[in-house]
Chains A and B, each alone.
Chain A
Amino acid sequence: MTNQAREYQQGMNQVLTRIHTLEETARRQKDIIKLNCVMDKEVQAKVNVGIAEQALTALQENVARADEGGRTHEFTRLTIINQKVVVLGAEAENCIGEDLSFVGATRVDLDIDPNIPRDDPTQPGVPTTPIDRPPAASTYM
């Protein structure tokens, strides 16, 4: 759950970066309508990212306290915020008119049959030391 939350946070930061790039594009084009539109989305996205950071911190605290209810609540908040930021990113693309040309980073979803063992049996074994009791080899020892 924490890993997924961190992925959400990274994704939201990437959206913010992309919106900032779009803002620069609008500035270069000197198109005030596009610029205002993008800046509006950027402000909303920043606010949501700030809320997401608070939710992530709260989530980690709940995990540490083993508070199942609190953990689920914060994760749900993060999921909703992430969806909002993704929508704002798409709207920012629309402001510039590049929505059709920019599809975002390629994302690969991998589903593994739960019956298949999770470990990787193709790895070479870990080094071990044989620790045997030395056999008595003479009446000397």
Chain B
Amino acid sequence: MTFRYLALGVAAVMCLVARTSHAQQSYGPITGGVLAVPTPVISPTNGVPLSDGAVLHAGVSVEGGYDSNLFYNDDEKVGSALLRVNPFLDLTNASRTGEAPNGLFFDLRAGASYREYLNSDASIRRLRAIQPTASVNLEHNSGGTLVVGVADTYARLQDAPYTRLGANDDLIVRDNNLASAQLRWSPGGGRLQSTLRLTNTVDWFETAALKAGNSMTNEAMLDVSWRWLPKTALYVQVRQGYVKYLNTQDDSSGLVPSSLGKKQDSYPLRAMVGIRGLITEKTSVALSVGYQNAFYIGGKSTTGFFGSTLAAAELIVMPLQTTKLTFGLHHDFQNSVVGNFFYDDGAYASVSHQLVSRLIAQAWGAYDHRRYYGLPAGMDPRVDDMIQATALLDFYIRAWAYVGASYSLIRNRSDYLPDQGYSGTNYTKQLVFGHVGLTY
């Protein structure tokens, strides 16, 4: 869910990206609400042409800042200055206007984020990390009638351990790979449109205490929409997933009740109807409501009327060409590494604005009310309230060089309060960064 909010924040500035020739910066993915791998958005007007159509982009950003709560623990707040260096390469055949060409489109990207803590404490310096990312996106468009695409995104993330010293002080190291194949069919004038998508997600923990949470998720999605206006559609969507835990022999005593003994596979089903698209020239909505069921083979699962109902509403307003406002609400459930799942009731908002041609400001915030089920005895259910917010300001000195600053906040409050010294329950974390970057 956290990533969704991040994507929202990024999406809020995409309209500005299309209108400015300057390089921009977006962020993702994140862990624990902390921006982990900053990935600059590339201006399509830059780049080195390698052949007819293929353009190579490259860039690097350097960030210096301060993290107020490295270990997500208000009982033992430890802060430190840190430095991040984020290089990337991108090869694509998108046009100079940023549009995908007819026929074959490709976008290959590789990047990394190196994080170094400017601190003399060895227990802090060991949090240093190199976090690589890579993605491939291939798409073939047959005149808009038939579009076939495959994509893959990989990220390796490292985050602070649950305790600073002593037991459970292993870094949380996680490999995540998301692969998808999609077929979109728009016969005739494109009024009716069908999308069939298969996704495969591997979530792999290298940390011993979390290995029982290693999982593979396969999901099939069928989306049929009817465009009753050129940019407005009514749709029906069905998603059937299969979540399989890969290390059922590993110790899962910290993740699920002892009576279950291991993480439980599930067959999550979501079926919804809704509307998405423009309702006026400057206003678009996305409304959906439907049925959901987690179908866990053991332990607790979604139940009741509200537990079986999913709903989402989003409103986007563009009062000016350079300003975008987004508001959203949602109620759904997510599979969880800890326990079986959590209900997620949330609200979010974002604003982005291009102040002058080279100064871009963005801000987004989100609130989540999460109810975890299927946890070990004594803490089930657990309720967390999480607030996340980020503000960014970038100034483009040239089309290929920028400076900026960012502020991020993540605050969690939980009704589960274990012994002091353990993180991840009640914490407030703030990050402040100044950055400079080059992209071409």
The stretch from A12-20, A29-37, A112-120 touching chain B is A112-120
Given contacts A136-B162, A141-B162, contact A130 B425 (CB under 8 A): no
Q: How far is the CB of B283 from chain A (nearest CB, A)?
A: 11
Q: Are B414 and A132 in contact (CB under 8 A)?
A: no
Closest A-chain residue to B285, C-beta based? Answer: A121
Most buried by B among A127, A129, A135: A135
CA distance A125 to B235 in the complex (A): 12
Chain A facing B: main interface SS: loop
Q: Which residues of A contact B30 (CB under 8 A)?
A: 131
Q: Are A135 and B422 in contact (CB under 8 A)?
A: no
CA distance A134 to B339 in the complex (A): 10
Closest A-chain residue to B32, C-beta based? Answer: A133
Q: Which residues of B contact A127 (CB under 8 A)?
A: 178, 180, 197, 199, 219
Contact of B419 among A131, A132, A139, A141 (CB under 8 A): A139
B403-419, CB under 8 A of A: which get 1 and which 0?
00000000010101011
CA distance A138 to B253 in the complex (A): 9
Interface size for A (C-beta < 8 A) is 31
Given contacts A133-B32, A137-B338, A141-B168, contact A128 B3 (CB under 8 A): yes
CA distance A120 to B231 in the complex (A): 6
| A124 interfacial contact with B, CB 8 Å | yes
CA distance A123 to B172 in the complex (A): 35
Q: Are A141 and B276 in contact (CB under 8 A)?
A: no
CA distance A137 to B339 in the complex (A): 8
Closest A-chain residue to B157, C-beta based? Answer: A131
Within 8 A of A (CB), among B181-202: 193, 195, 197, 199, 201
| B65 interfacial contact with A, CB 8 Å | no
Q: Are B376 and A134 in contact (CB under 8 A)?
A: no
Q: Are A124 and B235 in contact (CB under 8 A)?
A: yes
Q: Which residues of B contact A123 (CB under 8 A)?
A: 195
Q: Which residues of A contact B227 (CB under 8 A)?
A: 122
Closest A-chain residue to B334, C-beta based? Answer: A130
| B289 interfacial contact with A, CB 8 Å | no
CA distance A116 to B276 in the complex (A): 15
Closest B-chain residue to A60, C-beta based? Answer: B52
Q: Are B172 and A133 in contact (CB under 8 A)?
A: yes
| A63 interfacial contact with B, CB 8 Å | yes
| B401 interfacial contact with A, CB 8 Å | no
Within 8 A of A (CB), among B260-286: 276-278, 281-282, 284, 286
| A64 interfacial contact with B, CB 8 Å | yes
CA distance A130 to B28 in the complex (A): 11
| A21 interfacial contact with B, CB 8 Å | no
Given contact pairs A117-B318, A135-B412, A136-B424, a sample of 11 additional A-B residue pairs in the complex whose CB atoms are under 8 Å apart? A60-B52, A64-B49, A122-B232, A122-B235, A124-B223, A127-B178, A127-B199, A127-B219, A129-B153, A137-B376, A139-B422
Report, nearest first, the 4 A-B pairs whose CB atoms are least far apart.
A133-B32, A140-B254, A136-B424, A122-B233
**10 pairs, CB–CB < 8 Å, chain A vs chain B:** A63-B96, A119-B14, A121-B276, A122-B232, A129-B176, A130-B4, A131-B29, A131-B157, A131-B176, A135-B384
Binding site for A on B (CB under 8 A): 1-4, 7, 14-15, 18, 29-34, 49, 52, 72, 95-96, 153, 155, 157, 159, 162, 168, 172, 174, 176, 178, 180, 193, 195, 197, 199, 201, 203, 209-210, 213, 219, 221, 223, 225, 227, 231-233, 235, 237, 253-255, 276-278, 281-282, 284, 286, 318, 321, 334, 336-339, 372, 375-376, 379, 382, 384, 412, 414, 416, 418-419, 422-425
